[in-house]
Amino acid sequence: MHDFYRLLTSLILIFFLCPIVSAKEPDINQLALIIMQKQSTPESRHQSIEAGRDRALLCSVCHGIDGNSTRPEVPNLAGQNPVYLLDQIEKFSDGRRKNYVMNSLAKDFSSDDKINLAIYYNSMSVKMPTVNNKLATQGKQIYETQCSSCHGMRGTGSISFARIAGQQPIYVFTTLKQFRDNANSDSDKSLKKRNSNIMEPIVKQYSDKELEMISAYIAQLQ
């Protein structure tokens, strides 16, 4: 009798755990659907923003209470595409993207926390960072020919691509350098701070100077 209950418990566990395991890396479409459902009525959107604001207190030292970063190496979250935000929070929480603070914070979030934070930050507006105008002018041509097809002419992104307009130039520069250096290295991808099969080949051939120009151009896009 005892064994029967053990077996039954195992079967029930397997039944419930399988969908969780296979849903571990949700794709962008699944995340988009979750965000859409959460904002399906003005009331549910409002509740989500309020709950997100509560949670965001933890984040404000670095990202600012309104999602405008207080430090050059920290990205702005204000106005960011909520599907992109949710995707990145998921990546921090399961370790696909690595940053000590972000990994420790994100692994304690419930699914609801993650969604609410994404919707909250999306509802805030971006404040423009200070930019070196000479560099920015030099970055325009590369941006328009190589980047705008996904991130948009004005850098506003879309449902599946990050908004980059008004992003902190030092953060963008560091991020692009990471993608470039990954593309030019043979070492184990899973140990890298951040991977992207899409971004890595795109920035593979740029010099530091060119990445600086592109980062300045992106930062002044409104």
Footprint on this chain of ligand HEC (rule: CB under 6 A): 58-59, 61-63, 73-75, 77, 85, 88-89, 99, 101-102, 105, 117, 146-147, 149-151, 161-162, 164, 167, 172, 175-176, 193-194, 196, 198-199, 202-203, 214
Q: How many CB atoms lie within 10 A of CB 38?
A: 19
Q: What is the closest distance, in whole angstroms, from the C-beta atom of residue 40 to ligand HEC in the complex?
A: 23
Q: What is the closest distance, in whole angstroms, from the C-beta atom of residue 22 to ligand HEC in the complex?
A: 20
Tokens of 93: 């929480």
- Which residue, among 177, 165, 178, has the nearest Cα to 131 in the 3D structure? 165
- Of 38 and 151, the one with the shorter C-beta distance to ligand HEC is 151
Can you tell me the distance from the alpha carbon of 175 to that of 212, in angstroms, rounded to the nearest whole number?
11
DSSP assignment, residue 153?
Answer: T
Tokens of 117: 């934070």
Q: What is the closest distance, in whole angstroms, from the C-beta atom of residue 47 to ligand HEC in the complex?
A: 18
Q: What is the closest distance, in whole angstroms, from the C-beta atom of residue 114 to ligand HEC in the complex?
A: 8
CB 56 within 8 A of CB 121: yes
